[in-house]
Amino acid sequence: MLKWSVVGVVYVLALILLWVYSGQEGMQNRGFVVAGYGLTWGALLWYAFRLESRGRTTARAVESFEVAGAGD
Amino acid sequence: MGPRTTVEKTLGILALLSMLVGSYVGLVVVPADAAQGDVQRLMYVHVPAAWLAFMAFFIVFVMSVLYLIQRDARWDRVAASSAEIGVVFTVVTLLLGMMWGKPTWGVFWTWDPRLTTTAILLAIYVGYGALRSFADDEEKRARWSAIVGVIGFANVPIVYMSVTWWRTLHQPPSSPRSVAPDILWTLMLNLAAFTLVYAYLMVRRIRLAKLDGELEKRMAYNA
């Protein structure tokens, strides 16, 4: 959970930094460029963290069967 | 899912670093395209995402064939993992295409052959995922998925060739000879970064698939 928050904050800061930098450089269509890179990073990071979250949930479910089995 | 192994950690760090370097080079180092300007920088993520989607679905095809021949659940797990990651890359490809399409074509979306066949590709593999969630029996699910994985792959060469076969807004495929060296090496750098990301996600997704299989077995045993 903490990792999610840290990565989320870094991600937003990086987008702001890119927005400011591209403005200073006079980048044409900067909104589309920033949105495109932001979407790419956002989607890949979201999926990587989603995998970890699904993994934790499934591992807990498997463990709960182990505990139930040990009690039988 | 358990702690990451040293190989997984190394792969993850390499993927992250290469993506950072690739994005930095694509956004800052390489000069803007003479004709399209800065918006062409989207190519450095759009094209690798599309290539990786194709590769992911090729892996699904190969693993599906292997499953149908050998009936080994390992091939099914790899195919299912690659299909899911392929869907993520296809969504990224389509969204990036829309971001690039608006300033260059004037629209986010048009029913152009390349865009339409890519949307169909996405629908096929979203359907592949839906099919897997409908089937309860492990063997049936793997067999049906493998059949869809083999037939569905037929659309990949159609997507690739669509810009050659039909009149389309989308530019035809580029070759190393038709691209400036700066653009080419930046593209290759980002392609390597996306490949590392794919490899990392695959390793983690296959681990999750194994865990899902374990859970299903235990649930069936306790039922």
In this structure, the number of other CB atoms found within 10 A of the CB of residue B143 comes to 16
Comparing CB atoms, the residue among B23, B38, B215 nearest residue A58 is: B215
Q: How high is the pLDDT of residue B171?
A: 83
Cα dihedral sign, A48-A54-A57-A61: negative
Q: pLDDT band at residue B199, thresholds of 50, 70 and 90? A: very high
Question: What gap in Å lies between CA B162 and CA B96, rounded to an integer?
Answer: 18
Q: How high is the pLDDT of residue B175?
A: 77
Mean pLDDT of all residues in B65-76: 96
Preferred mutation among A51, A54, A66, A72 to probe B, highest tally of B CBs within 10 A: A51
Structure tokens at B187: 């593209």
Chain A contacts in chain B segment 184-203 (CB below 8 A): 197, 200-201
Task: Give yes or no for residue A72 having a pLDDT over 70.
Answer: no
Q: How high is the pLDDT of residue B136?
A: 81
Q: pLDDT band at residue B217, thresholds of 50, 70 and 90? A: confident
**Between B217 and B84, the higher pLDDT residue:** B84
Comparing CB atoms, the residue among B96, B201, B215 nearest residue A36 is: B96
Task: Give yes or no for residue B111 having a pLDDT over 60.
Answer: yes
Chain A interface includes B41 (CB < 8 A): yes
Chain B interface includes A41 (CB < 8 A): yes
Chain A interface includes B42 (CB < 8 A): yes
pTM: 0.93
Question: What gap in Å lies between CA A33 and CA B41, rounded to an integer?
Answer: 7
Averaged confidence pLDDT in chain B: 94
Q: How high is the pLDDT of residue B169?
A: 86
Task: Give yes or no for residue B222 having a pLDDT over 80.
Answer: no
Query: Residue B141 — left, alpha, or beta (φ > 0 → left; ψ -120 to 50 → alpha)?
Result: alpha
Comparing CB atoms, the residue among A21, A22, A40 nearest residue B49 is: A40
Cα dihedral sign, B115-B101-B28-B91: negative
User: Quick check: B19 and A59 CB within 8 A?
Assistant: no
Question: What gap in Å lies between CA B122 and CA B53, rounded to an integer?
Answer: 10
Mean pLDDT of all residues in A23-41: 94
Task: Give yes or no for residue A1 having a pLDDT over 60.
Answer: no
Q: Say what the ipTM of the complex is.
A: 0.92
**Helix axes of B43-70 and B6-24: crossing angle, nearest 10 degrees:** 150
